[in-house]
Structure 1
Amino acid sequence: MTFSLVARCAETGMFGLAISSSSPAVAARCAFARAGVGAVASQNVTDPTLGPLTLDLMQAGMTAPEAIAEMQQRSKFTEYRQVLAVDSQGRTAIHSGPNSLGIWTQAQAENVASGGNLLANDTVPQAIVDEFLRTSGHIGDRLIAAMRAGLAAGGEAGPVHSAGMMIVDSVAWPVADLRCDWADDCPIQNIATAWDIYKPQLDAYIQRALDPSAAPSYGVPGDD
């Protein structure tokens, strides 16, 4: 019911992920990222505990492949789960259990991994990976381009209704966490529109948290 990617920007060290599904609020259950550590998507009959577990293992020093292998050993019902990870060196790993739903497949390269289930066809994850690698610029732009490529390649077997994009940088919180929890039109386009609005303000929101006295004006009525 889902297709996604996890990724690292080799130039900035930012991590990000994007995800879409026919199910509601997919990003609330499936999207996990930690600054300086990595990004993880936990999907397909979702167990939300697997994202933080895999991040903890990578933060403790494991590579993405080692963390995914250890996650499999520690967790129950992994035959139903699909988990994607990228670590601080751009190494990627994917676990896709044999009970993943419908047409399921995966693709990965340095700094990016994609997987999906209940797909329209088995080309979707590779199209996502290829587009991420082909696109330049901010990791957010690359994530959006990759998800659009996955949708153009067929996406899910049925219509998608929710989507999300998360980005972490050098601070302890996500610098972008954009969600469309339900839409009858394209949720990926809704996330793209939100990103176009949010991207120019991203640095200002970080500055306001770190030092409000040096932050730019808020641009609201009554603001001096």
Structure 2
Amino acid sequence: MTFSLIARCPRTGQFGAAVTTSSIAVGSRVPFAAAGVGAVLTQHRTDPGLGPKGLALLRRGLGAAAVVEALVAGTPHHAWRQLAVVDAAGRTAHFHGAAVKPERAAAHGPGVVALGNILAAERVPAAMLAGFLAAPDEPLAERLLRGLEAGEAAGGEHGAVTSASLLVAWREPFPYVDLRIDQSAAPLPALRALWEAYAPLAEGFLQRATDPGEAPVF
């Protein structure tokens, strides 16, 4: 019961992911991203180990499709896995294992892929993609969140969501944005409020790491 999307921003080179699901603390298990490298989603019967493995393969220079192929070949439980990858060039790929429960679907656009399982309707990933593509001038984090909200408006998953996450990697080895709602009756509105509070501070937090003497105080 998860729907999510990953993307690369061609303007900034940022990579990011947004995800929501019916279980607790989804941000600790599903989305993975690294600056200059790419992003990986691992969901359904989630194996969080596939995220770092996918990023390692991307660092070796494999493209998105080759990374998905290698991850599938390297796990004996691939029938239970649902995967998506975006690489440094913005190429995308996904995989639905044979045991991933319906409705399951995916939708691809330039530098972005949305997917889900146990969805209320097959159209949900396409709605996420449309929501993301509708705001090309917004920051990547905002676009990802709009995609997630569009998926929820299109029916979301088959049941109530409990947790949500927004992750963006940019320039540094640590995340530029890493916001999580680990348990809530309304995780997407909570994530929206958290992002809107964090967005004006994001550059300042980055500057505290890279140029602390000139960093803002707030």
Tell me the TM-score normalised to structure 1 length.
0.95
Partner deviation per Cα, 1:133-184 (whole Å, 9 max, x = no partner): 1212100110111011000000011010100000000011001100001101
* Equivalent runs, 1:1-224 vs 2, <5 Å: 1-136=1-136, 137-184=138-185, 186-217=186-217, 219=218
Query: Which structure 1 residue ranges, 5 or more long, are not aligned?
Result: 220-224
In structure 2, what is the Cα distance between the partners aligned to 1:162 and 1:58? 28
In structure 2, what is the Cα distance between the partners aligned to 1:59 and 1:131? 30
Could you tell me how far 1:34 is from its partner in structure 2? 0.5
Q: Which amino acid aligns with 1:11?
A: R
Partner-residue secondary structure (3-state), 1:194: helix
Could you tell me how far 1:8 is from its partner in structure 2? 0.7
In structure 2, what is the Cα distance between the partners aligned to 1:42 and 1:74? 14
Could you tell me how far 1:38 is from its partner in structure 2? 0.5
Q: Percent identity?
A: 40
In structure 2, what is the Cα distance between the partners aligned to 1:161 and 1:102? 20
Q: Which amino acid aligns with 1:191?
A: L
In structure 2, what is the Cα distance between the partners aligned to 1:79 and 1:212? 48
Matched pairs, number: 217
Could you tell me how far 1:211 is from its partner in structure 2? 1.9
Which structure would you say has the larger Rg?
1
Partner-residue secondary structure (3-state), 1:158: coil
Q: Which amino acid aligns with 1:205?
A: F
In structure 2, what is the Cα distance between the partners aligned to 1:131 and 1:10? 17
Q: Which amino acid aligns with 1:73?
A: A
Could you tell me how far 1:98 is from its partner in structure 2? 1.3
In structure 1, what is the Cα distance between the partners aligned to 2:102 and 2:88? 32
Partner deviation per Cα, 1:82-113 (whole Å, 9 max, x = no partner): 01110111100001101112311111122100
In structure 2, what is the Cα distance between the partners aligned to 1:210 and 1:94? 35
In structure 1, what is the Cα distance between the partners aligned to 2:34 and 2:169? 6
